[in-house]
Amino acid sequence: MRVLLVSGKFGIEVLENLRKTFPEIFPSNVELDYVIVTSGIVRFVPNKQVQEQVKRKLREGKYDYIIAPYGLIIDIDEPSVIYLKHVGDVPALLNYLVSCSDVPNNVKDLYISMRPFLEKIENFVIENSHRVRKIRARIGRRWKISVNGLPTKIVAEIIDSTRRDVEECLKQAYNYVEEGADFIDVGCVAGDPRPDIVRRIVRELVDKLPNNVCVSIDSLVPSEIRAGIEAGADLVLSVMKGSLDKLDNVDLRDVGLVIIPDNPYMSTNDLVKYFADMCNKVEKRGAVPIIDPLLSPPLMGFVDSLCRYMNMREYFKDTPMLMGIGNVTELIDADSSGVNALLAVACTELEIDLVLTTEASVKTIGSVSELRRAFHMTTAARLLSKYPKDMSINVLICKRKW
């Protein structure tokens, strides 16, 4: 099968990069040729000009199909012209054309028909994201979770764990695992340290959760952190300069330590120096340093805090980063699905490796599953160089696309 693709220079580069990185998603029995109509934006090129270039190319050889950007109009009798919204969907369309001879006339029906092929390709690129970005770290003791921000791993917090019954914590943990959490976080109560209860809950979670799910402890109190690690915790949220010094006799090997600043509002240079010094100390203890510049709530410095993450990622390209997004989802009266989807976009662009989320209020129940779908959507879209739209995965809940 010979297929002619009409696109701009950028679209061709996207497709060639995909072919180089993920050759398996392109059918081997399809010959793909190109008509590059512009080095800029295709929709700004007059239809007449595009049509002349296509006809000129058709005189050079025979093609079975032409693929063109949705919005163009190419008026020719043969071969059939198929209009596609995203150049990143070309591999799915090619696989569809190999398998099916009946091509829908409109874009809506085409994407519905292509859905199984979209889903297969999206899952493949997500599972093989290490080809695009190297693994930054492997966190955990009994089970190693690899992080590179594709997709972002989810830390689901059981709020106020130390004031709950152990069985209640286990029930919540199982629900989080079912929703797609990678880490179950034992949330402690500020000002009310209970290291013995922490030890008991962490030990139960370590013993009873699936082996591929890690356990974390959320406390700034050294006695609770110590108890959690001794009971088998894989991740600690969080340590500062003072609290790390109080863990001298604790075996931190292979434990992920989330580092937060004493003062997040310090200058960028001071923040870089602080994190660099703390990462060095953490690594010397055999632990995995994870940077958290702290996300501020909406209208309380939210945008500035995103800039902190962006600045720190620029300086610490190979260091894992965590973002506590519960500071946003819990503190805005908006549907959590939309908020989580937008935060997932931000995390994917910033290459955030882990997010901490909560389901502390009625409006945020289901946030873990929403995030899991959102991160799969944004990761596949990032790897396929397209908008997180018209995919087999979405986070539409209360409203429908069509």
Evaluate whether 195 touches 163 at the Cβ level (below 8 Å): no
**Of 57-66, 154-163, 212-221, 232-241, minimum mean pLDDT range:** 57-66
Confidence of residue 399 (pLDDT cuts 50, 70, 90): low
pTM for the full model?
Answer: 0.93
The pLDDT, as a whole number, for residue 400 is 63
pLDDT number for residue 326: 94
Is the model's pLDDT at 121 over the cut of 90? yes
> Given pLDDT bands bounded at 50, 70 and 90, which one contains residue 54?
confident
Q: What per-residue confidence (pLDDT) applies to 401?
A: 58
336 Cβ neighbours under 8 A, 6+ residues apart: 329, 363, 364, 365, 366, 367, 370
What pLDDT band is residue 53 in, cutting at 50, 70 and 90? confident
Give the pLDDT score at 402: 61
- 88 burial (CB, 10 Å; 0-12 / 13-18 / 19+) is buried
Category of 299 on φ-ψ map: left (φ > 0), alpha (ψ -120 to 50) or beta: left
Cβ(233)–Cβ(205) below 8 Å: no
Which pLDDT tens digit goes with each residue over 82-99? 999 999 999 999 999 999
Angle between helix 90-99 and helix 107-127 axes, rounded to 10 deg: 110
Q: Domains of the chain by range and CATH?
A: 2-127 (3.40.50.2300), 137-383 (3.20.20.20)
